[in-house]
Amino acid sequence: MKFWGDGHAEKHPELVAAFIQTCAIDFRTSLTVKAIEEASESIIGELSKVTKALENK
């Protein structure tokens, strides 16, 4: 990146490591959110079935 100048990343590997770690955390968070979303949809579907069954009694 020209803003920081040539070789900045090489001189500051801790910045590169922090960036990669942040990317990994963000990716893991997105996977967790997706899993929670899918589980929630499944729970809602099952609760809907229970509600309909109870209404028909």
Distance from C-alpha of 53 to C-alpha of 45, rounded to nearest angstrom: 13
**Do the domain assignments include residue 7?**
no
Residue 45 lies in a domain: yes
Residue 2 in any domain: the answer is no
Q: How many separate domains does the chain show?
A: 1
Report pLDDT for 42.
Answer: 98
Do the domain assignments include residue 40? yes
1 found inside a domain: no
More reliable by pLDDT, 57 or 40: 40
* pTM of this structure: 0.68
Q: Is residue 5 part of a domain?
A: no
Taking only the tens place, the pLDDT of each residue in 5-52 is: 888 989 999 999 999 999 999 999 999 999 999 999 999 999 999 999
pLDDT range class, residue 3, cuts 50, 70, 90: confident
The range of the structural domain enclosing residue 22 comes to 14-55
> d(Cα 23, Cα 55) in Å, to the nearest integer?
48
Cα–Cα distance measured from residue 40 to residue 27, given in angstroms and rounded to the nearest whole number: 20
Q: Say whether pLDDT at 1 is over 60.
A: no
